Chain A
Amino acid sequence: MLSLILILIAAVFFTGVIIRVKSMSSGRKGPGILQPVFDVVRLFKKGVVYSETTSFIFQIAPTIYFSSVVMVMLVVPFGQSKGVLSFDGDFIFFAYILALGKFFSIISAMDTGSSFEGMGASREALYSMFAEPAFFILMGSLALLTGHTSFHEMFAALHIGSYISYALAILGTFVLMMVAMIENSRMPIDDPKTHLELTMVHEVMILDNSGFDLGLILTAGYLKFAIYGALVVNLFIGMFPYHYSIPMFFVIQFVLASGVGLIESFMARFRMSHNAQFIFVLTSVSLLIFFGALLILGKFV
């Protein structure tokens, strides 16, 4: 329950911090931290425009996408306290319920019959496919290391002791953050602020969404960032008491958000054709984590 509240609070600020960091590093004052929230509230009040090509799929997809994100929020734990739902293999559920949301957002893009949106859908499907193995191998390594198969038990049993496990935690952070970037379609995979439809991935899929539906999609994006941030936090706070871990949660989330902002300010997006290879590299990194876990357990004989 605690994790749910913390994630909700973090989600309110996360995207705002990214935007603020970006504007500051380009020498502008930038909007307030809460601007993304105001944007969504404004969208919720607006009417909607539907394309004449679309069917009911287009209307139900944003809601299912949003509820899939809400659902995964419930399984994320916080250190010693469980998530709302916690069971053996919940990380499998985590990945697959997100896939349901993705399935619907892809077919809703196809529903508009637009070539732009089909393009975005195709890219999103391909990238998310490549990102999933990294996540599963990372979780598999943690399961191997701790002997448990649920988020809460794995993170609770994760003690950072030796140098190797520090290295593993850092690699794990890298993988999780990169998966978060892919899931949220941010730099270096996708540039949310690009002006040309041809170079977009996620933005182009939601070109025809408006009003309430668009608000749901944006909110889901904010939540997703905070969820992956919370997973990263969990890698580090295993055994700390709450009066340390809760401030740590916000510090780490803030650092991550600023990191994303800085990356977006000083880096260009990768070439589209290189993206898939890059994402597959993540799988190799997670395999490295797996070998590290083997090393710690002394399985190499």
Chain B
Amino acid sequence: MSLINAFLAVPVLAILIIPFLKVKGKGIVLFSAIVMNALFSGYLGMQTLAGQLFEFLFPGSLITGPVNLRIDALSGWFILIINFVFITGSFYGLFYMKAYRKQTNNITLHSIAFILLHTSLISLCAIQNSLVFLITWEIMALSAFLVVIFEHEKMATLSAGINYLIQSHVSIVFLMFGFIWVALKTGSYDFSALTNYTTQHFGAAGLVLFICFFIGFAIKAGFVPFHTWLPYAHPAAPAHISGIMSGVIIKIGIFGILRMITLIKTDYYTIGLVIIAFSVVSGLYGVMLAIVQHNLKKLLAYHSVENIGIIGMGIGIGCIGLGTGNYLLASLGFAGGLLHTLNHALFKSLLFFTAGNVYQATHTLHVDHLGGLIKKMPQTALLFLVAAIAISGIPPFNGFISEFIIYSGFYYWMQGSLIGPLMTIIFSVLALVLIGGLALLCFTKAFGIVFLGNPRQKFDHEVKEVPFLQLLPLYLIAFFIVFIGVFPQFFMNALSQPVTLMSGIPAISDIPFSEKTTDLLEPVTWSVWIFILISLVLFGLRKLVMQTRKSTIETTWGCGYVAPTEKQQYTAGSFVRSYGKLFRPFFITSKTHKEVEGIFPSGGSYETHVYDRIEKYLIDNPIAAYKAFLGKFLFLQNGRLQFYILYGIIFIVAVICIPLFYEQIVLFIEFIKQI
């Protein structure tokens, strides 16, 4: 209990102190507050992974009823992920924000919102009371909005922030609907009411309730078609916030879905199919749009949508396992999904941080303006490469491990299935393979264009590597990426409690979770090690041979042309052109070009922009229709004060009079009914 009190006291103190400090002090207080709170909550989180369970009961207030805090293994897993990303992110942020140190007030607001964000995210994992959960959810959404719009003097940033704010409130509407429904039926705000209600009303009610929560959390997580806020909010935010957003804020949506699976008792099989359907579409659509992006951060943002899809596939398989009573299938699915949650948090935050380094050094994120950065920023390039390989799901890094478990889940589900599930499986596998292939295309493009070749543009300022301290958290993340890739067993053991909780394995079971999946992964680990060994031997051999060979440096082969310019290089657009032609039906491409003409041509230009088709039909068109409808009432807002007073009087009169005429109205309705 004292730990919880300390946990609540730290942010309050920090928020009180921060406004009165100098910029440097603000940073230090912010970082130490995050670390302290991470230690408090991480301590509990660690113990839950060892099998403990913490419950705290607060008396609460008249409105909320008693507030129950409960930290189980699922909360513990997410708390640890959140803490890791926040510690690395805030440390990185200390250096990233140096360029903005003149904006004192802005930084104060940013730091306060940052601390609130961390506290609310951690609390969300523990709170078991729906009303308090919603309030905390709102604090989280608002503080996330504040940290995103740090550069609010830019119009694009502000509109991205407001876009996010509105969509996260749509998400709250769905959550509120679900919670109030249950509270109305049972009279209790406690999460256990959800379980009671759905066990009593097994069937359609539970299913609709779950779908309602699923949509609410899916907006946060960024499942297609609820993803449209994501590609705007991520690029608009400062780099450390983008990393945190993609790493953990969207994961709280995943946490919500998982939590609801444990709470709501319903037809898990159907839920599994629904989640898999959403995930397959998200995975494919996310990566398909990622490839054609020119803004590095926007590209990464669409990849978040893709990875949420992969996580969703794991969760879907898990639900199918629950529905069919197949514990092994359930544990494979949930293990894949949960591990991929961690993996994505690692490599995506690393990618965003390295993208931040690129932005800091060059002041642009447009991939076609970059190039050849590997010579100026070798460490950043190496870190980006590690994360890029990991996100493409390629061994020996962590992305492969979780995708391997999900594949195993699919192939395991295949055994003894009927034709319906088999078709689902084969098309999901098809999707997962295509996602892998497309991610490879996308990240060879991103890495190749940004870091390799020659610079495509001359910068007025010197492009140089960021200081080592700023790279330090990045190396830490990269270490974990490699570590999970080569020692997955360690993390599989840590996962055994959360997965046991999720898959509902009875305490006395003949198939303990950890053994089976570790069995599955052991040969993979061996193979990865053998691969590393083979590569090292070959490198040694190559080095030995090359000592006696002559090596010369020449220009790149250009069919005999020896003065190639950087303009002759392949650009990002040309790299994905044949892909773009094949997948044209899926997005809206607009081109603007200026022909080179005249005797003394003044230069031509060619630009393409790709727009999200789902965004156009699901967001833009309804908003346009809504605006057109509301526009019809524009005459009411005529700017004359007299009229506004008149509206007020009409309203007051109506409010007073309607009860007076209530009887008459009822009579009138009765009269109509008789006819």
A88 to B530, CA, bound (A): 17
Q: Which residues of B contact A115 (CB under 8 A)?
A: 568-570
A294 to B444, CA, bound (A): 37
A51 to B552, CA, bound (A): 9
B214 lies within 8 A of chain A by Cβ: no
A133 lies within 8 A of chain B by Cβ: yes
Is the pair B430, A212 in contact by a Cβ cutoff of 8 Å?
Answer: no
A70 to B531, CA, bound (A): 9
Is the pair A140, B411 in contact by a Cβ cutoff of 8 Å?
Answer: yes
A50 to B371, CA, bound (A): 19
Task: Give the contacting residue for B557; candidates A55, A97, A208; CB below 8 A.
Answer: A208
Is the pair B535, A113 in contact by a Cβ cutoff of 8 Å?
Answer: no
Beyond A136-B433, A212-B542, is A113–B550 a contact (Cβ under 8 Å)?
A: no
B566 lies within 8 A of chain A by Cβ: yes
Task: Give the contacting residue for B414; candidates A70, A118, A144, A273; CB below 8 A.
Answer: A144
A130 to B579, CA, bound (A): 11
B574 lies within 8 A of chain A by Cβ: yes
Interface readout for B527-551 with A: 1 if CB under 8 Å, 0 if not? 1001100110011001001100111
| Distance to closest chain A CB from B9 (angstroms) | 48
Q: Which residues of A contact B385 (CB under 8 A)?
A: 57, 107
Interface size bracket, B side: 35 or more
| Distance to closest chain B CB from A209 (angstroms) | 10
Interface size bracket, A side: 35 or more
Is the pair B555, A51 in contact by a Cβ cutoff of 8 Å?
Answer: yes
| Distance to closest chain B CB from A49 (angstroms) | 5
| Distance to closest chain A CB from B549 (angstroms) | 5
Interface readout for B504-533 with A: 1 if CB under 8 Å, 0 if not? 000000000000000010011011001100
Is the pair B524, A93 in contact by a Cβ cutoff of 8 Å?
Answer: yes
| Distance to closest chain B CB from A90 (angstroms) | 8
B30 lies within 8 A of chain A by Cβ: no
B277 lies within 8 A of chain A by Cβ: no
Beyond A99-B440, A125-B444, is A92–B520 a contact (Cβ under 8 Å)?
A: no
Binds B, one of A20-28, A59-67, A223-231: A59-67
Q: Which of B545-581 contact A (CB under 8 A)?
A: 545-546, 549-559, 564, 566, 568-570, 574-579, 581
Q: Which of B303-326 contact A (CB under 8 A)?
A: none
Is the pair B437, A128 in contact by a Cβ cutoff of 8 Å?
Answer: yes
A123 to B570, CA, bound (A): 12
| Distance to closest chain B CB from A274 (angstroms) | 11
Is the pair B557, A119 in contact by a Cβ cutoff of 8 Å?
Answer: no
Closest to A144 in B: B414
Interface of chain A, helix or strand or loop or mixed? helix
B183 lies within 8 A of chain A by Cβ: no
Q: Which residues of B contact A128 (CB under 8 A)?
A: 437, 440
Q: Which residues of A contact B395 (CB under 8 A)?
A: 93, 96-97, 100
Q: Which residues of A contact B569 (CB under 8 A)?
A: 113-115, 118
Is the pair A114, B558 in contact by a Cβ cutoff of 8 Å?
Answer: yes
A46 to B552, CA, bound (A): 12
Closest to A207 in B: B557
Q: Which of A107-143 contact B (CB under 8 A)?
A: 107, 110-119, 121-123, 125-126, 128-130, 132-133, 136-137, 140, 143
Is the pair B527, A48 in contact by a Cβ cutoff of 8 Å?
Answer: no
Closest to B454 in A: A113
A95 to B396, CA, bound (A): 13
6 pairs of A and B residues whose beta carbons are closest in the complex: A118-B570, A129-B437, A110-B448, A87-B523, A113-B453, A47-B550
Binding site for A on B (CB under 8 A): 371-372, 374-375, 378, 385, 389, 392-396, 400, 403-404, 407-408, 411-412, 414-415, 418-419, 422, 425-426, 429-430, 433-434, 436-438, 440-441, 443-445, 447-449, 452-454, 520, 523-524, 526-527, 530-531, 534-535, 538-539, 542, 545-546, 549-559, 564, 566, 568-570, 574-579, 581-582
Q: What are 23 A-B contacts defined by CB distance under 8 Å?
A: A47-B549, A50-B552, A57-B385, A64-B535, A67-B535, A85-B530, A89-B408, A93-B404, A96-B394, A97-B394, A97-B531, A107-B385, A114-B558, A118-B448, A121-B448, A122-B575, A125-B440, A125-B444, A126-B582, A133-B437, A137-B429, A140-B411, A140-B429
What would 4 more interface pairs be, CB under 8 Å, given A99-B394, A103-B389, A113-B569?
A49-B552, A93-B395, A107-B444, A126-B441
